[in-house]
Amino acid sequence: MHELTITRHNPAIDPTLHIWGWEISLYLFLGGLIAGMMMITGFFLSRQRFKEATCTCALVPLLSVVLLSIGMLALFLDLSHKLYVWRMYATFKPASPMSWGSWILLLVYPALIGAFLVRPPMYLTKRFAALRRWSAKLHTHPSRIRAVGILNMVLGAMLGIYTGILLSGFGARPLWNSPILAPLFLISGLSTAAALVHLFARDRDESEMLAKADNTFLTAELVSVVLLIIGLISSTKVHIQAAQLLLTGDYAPVFWVLVIGMGIIIPLIIQSLAVRHKVAHMPIAPIMVIIGGLILRFVIVEAGQVSHWTRAALLP
């Protein structure tokens, strides 16, 4: 599907081979963000928050569909053979992360549309009678709404984990070849999603709940980053060299300042003070979380392509 699979270059031998561009970094960020938004939406539906007039349940699924379409466009732009993308849906390969991702993304759309129909915006229901009927059918059986909520949480978790597995499967890139990458991307997706929904939340209790949840996610994300680095520096020489790219190498300033400092620690401090009512809830903290999550994907994708197994490392 991608140029990596159709060239004769061996990334283990040719460290100069640049696999992916900015499109994949954006796609991975939006995939994680949407995964988190789906899980938050599913949680809201299971808690019946859609009955609250101020709930963001009407906005989040629609925004997720828009962002997902942008992410799919970014992925499509990165493909070398765009006319053959349909072949991904002509078969299913259980051993292929890309095959899993393609089918998960295909299922995400109807799950999001189902969540949207639970609480469609009033200006749309007034204009489209069919939308009112479909929404009414969902509400005739509460079990259907619970099923939609569970489906969104399950598919959201699968999508979030897939964004990390897609990279960790590349053994030729030591920085990516870590089992921590999948949970890190999932937790980061939950954090950025909580931050984004927090920006649009109109209810004080919902804002408080999202800020507390994001604090938990940010703490877990920081722990995951530490575990990722520990796993690398306690492994082979090439893995230690990969870790040095983030710790002291070319990517260290961006990693420490923009990802760790601006994207995790500073918003964690601000939001911790906010939930304790020491300061007011401010949009600056969620915005920093979102930007930090985006930069994290760019740093991991770009630094991962610089890390490699050299000829010397391959020799006995």
**Looking at 34-43, 64-73, 93-102, which range is the least confident one?**
93-102
Task: Check residue 134 and give its pLDDT.
Answer: 86
**Residues 119/55, Cβ–Cβ less than 8 Å:** yes
pLDDT band at 22 (very low <50, low <70, confident <90, very high): confident
Residue whose entry in the numeric block shows the structure tokens 């984990």: 161
Task: Check residue 18 and give its pLDDT.
Answer: 55
pTM of the model: 0.88
Q: Which of 115-129, 147-161, 169-183 has the highest mean pLDDT?
A: 147-161
**Residues 149/43, Cβ–Cβ less than 8 Å:** yes
Share of the chain above pLDDT 70, in %: 91
Q: What is the mean pLDDT of residues 123-147?
A: 84
Q: What is the mean pLDDT of the chain?
A: 86
Cα–Cα distance list, 261 to 45, 232, 265 (Å): 34, 21, 5
pLDDT band at 19 (very low <50, low <70, confident <90, very high): low
Question: What is the residue extent of each domain of the chain?
Answer: 3-314
Task: Check residue 257 and give its pLDDT.
Answer: 97
**Residues 149/196, Cβ–Cβ less than 8 Å:** no
The three-state secondary structure class of 135 is helix
pLDDT band at 57 (very low <50, low <70, confident <90, very high): confident
Q: What is the mean pLDDT of residues 191-197?
A: 96
**Looking at 52-61, 145-154, 271-280, 306-315, which range is the least confident one?**
306-315
Fold for 3-314, please state it: Formate dehydrogenase/DMSO reductase fold (1.20.1630)
